[in-house]
Structure 1
């Protein structure tokens, strides 16, 4: 099926959202039993980690780890935000830079100033959105970022979004309590889908829509390592203890250009394959054979694909053996852990 579809349903009693693009599963969000990214805690400092510039914190959901802090002693209270999922046996990763993010607006308490997304280029739209920003923030010392989705949105919806995030930010930052506590819950899959999947799409909310629209079949395929690529090629995406290994194969195509075609197909499909499987960390790609002069072509295709992906990924480069490496933020739980 051509086009984009956003499907909101439940899996095994868990809230879930799926994005289908031209009949393929492009993204998948499933609620987990761990703290949601975006959750804001009032935490209490526990003990510093010598030589690493970090400190362990006590939160209602267990130990958290905060990097890059100085001058904080044991027993102090600090507001922090969950930035991702904890690896097995490790503390919850948090940041002291708290953001209040919605579909159209991001309020930044520690970064004053009114800013617009660079992708909003129309001068009339920029002027109108800046006027909404000034009206919504008033003389607040907090900062505001207007997101790209606001460019085509109803001004009243943008204004309401700014007001809601500003009010939440003021309520949370004004907290004077003591002891570990959750101050704001992170967004669940349905809200995240509304917040971040902003391109035009058909939205389906019927109960059981995952089954009727082929999402369940796509999820079953994603539990396995194989990903079909254009032209009969394929790749295997497998997580090991140390890294995520990607092996690209040309399939039955034995022509001279088969390797390049398979590698370009891998570049276009890899971000979605990693997103859906919830894989991050170090990613090593064993590409199909291709001339060295085509490496720049592959890098350009991969860079273009990653530009559309919101999960932070560093293109680390080539190894002496000709593999290509990425370093990707662990922004999702592995699919095999969420759906046991």
Structure 2
């Protein structure tokens, strides 16, 4: 099947969503079956203890959960604050959080304590930008020092749909921001797989035929990925994820295999829910070909939604990158 299709369903009784592009699984979201907080969850937190030398603060989140805030400046033990989960913590580690809380929907983002009414830079048509700004300003005229960003999905949207989304998101934000409690507690759950798919994925072709997805999930359990004559192996460990590229072809075949890896890597990491430190053990190629590989890798990750930093080459000739832990490892969820 050509084009993009969004498939909503369940995997082992948990909500799941998949994005198919030209019949191939391109992205996957599956709800976890435990009580660990998801990204986007908002807590009323209590500052616990600062960590000297790291500049951060451990926080009590309630229900026995501990959070980690990277910036302890201006914070004191016992202080109450609103925080939002920014990543998935490994078992036994504190949950990463930020005090820069955002309320996201498909069409807008409410930005507490960051005033302004703005439109996504990707919307370049001045007439459309003015139309959207006028609708938003009429829907939420009094913003009390908070801000709104109108997302790319707003383009061409009818006024009624946008107003409904704005007023609902704004109302939720004001409800949470108006909390006056003093005990560490969860105030707002992170979005489930269906909500996140609606919020972040474009596509009008919606299906509930989950069997189409199940047929492709087995490939994610295999560490080997074959592309033409080349095969690369994606092997997570506790410390890092190693990616090993193998090809029977010598000479220019090494560069060809490495370029194939560069194009395929963002999708594979996204589908497998892999983040953290990643080390690429590439097929042999000359040093003069490194720039071509780096350019291909940078271009491939530019279209990926998860923040990834290309670190560079090691003395042994490996290439390192780091990736935000925005998802649980798919292996755990399957």
Q: When the two structures are superposed, what TM-score results if normalisation uses the length of structure 1?
A: 0.92
1:88 positional shift: 1.7
Query: Residue 36 of structure 1 aligns to a residue in which SS?
Result: coil
1:142 positional shift: 0.7
**Alignment of 1:337 onto 2:332:** yes
For structure 1, the residue ranges without an aligned partner over 5 or more in a row are none
Say whether the 8 Å CA contact 2:55–2:73 is kept in structure 1: yes
1:26 aligns with: 26
**Alignment of 1:52 onto 2:54:** yes
**Matching of residues 205-220 of structure 1 within 5 Å:** 205=208, 209-211=209-211, 213=212, 215-220=213-218
Say whether the 8 Å CA contact 1:3–1:201 is kept in structure 2: no
CA distance in 2, matches of 1:225, 1:321: 23
Say whether the 8 Å CA contact 1:311–1:329 is kept in structure 2: yes
Say whether the 8 Å CA contact 2:50–2:72 is kept in structure 1: no
2:69 aligns with: 66
Query: Residue 210 of structure 2 aligns to a residue in which SS?
Result: helix
CA distance in 2, matches of 1:180, 1:272: 37
List, as ranges, runs of 4+ consecutive aligned residues in structure 1 with deviation greater than 4 Å: none
**Alignment of 1:185 onto 2:189:** yes
CA distance in 1, matches of 2:174, 2:315: 52
1:137 positional shift: 2.9
1:241 aligns with: 238
Matching residue within 149, 165, 169 for 2:153: 149
Matching residue within 81, 100, 104 for 2:103: 100
CA distance in 1, matches of 2:134, 2:180: 33
CA distance in 2, matches of 1:124, 1:233: 49
1:221 positional shift: 1.1
**Alignment of 1:132 onto 2:144:** no
1:17 positional shift: 0.8
| Change over 3 Å in CA distance of 1:286–1:161 after alignment to 2 | same
Query: Residue 152 of structure 1 aligns to a residue in which SS?
Result: coil
Say whether the 8 Å CA contact 2:123–2:152 is kept in structure 1: yes
CA distance in 2, matches of 1:182, 1:242: 30
1:28 positional shift: 0.9
CA distance in 1, matches of 2:250, 2:43: 57
1:77 aligns with: 80
For structure 2, the residue ranges without an aligned partner over 5 or more in a row are none
1:32-78 deviation line (CA, Å, top 9, x unaligned): 12211101111112222222222221123411111202232222211
1:228 aligns with: 226
Matching residue within 112, 128, 133 for 2:115: 112
1:289-315 deviation line (CA, Å, top 9, x unaligned): 223222222222222221121111101
1:68-98 deviation line (CA, Å, top 9, x unaligned): 0223222221111111111121111111110
Say whether the 8 Å CA contact 2:306–2:324 is kept in structure 1: yes
Q: When the two structures are superposed, what TM-score results if normalisation uses the length of structure 2?
A: 0.94
2:263 aligns with: 268
1:228-282 deviation line (CA, Å, top 9, x unaligned): 22x332211110122111112235xx36432222222211111111111111111
**Alignment of 1:311 onto 2:300:** no
CA distance in 1, matches of 2:176, 2:72: 21
**Alignment of 1:293 onto 2:293:** no
| Change over 3 Å in CA distance of 1:121–1:49 after alignment to 2 | same
1:85-118 deviation line (CA, Å, top 9, x unaligned): 1112111111111000111101100211122111
1:129 positional shift: 1.3
When the two chains are superposed, the root-mean-square deviation of aligned CA atoms in Å is 1.6
1:258 aligns with: 253
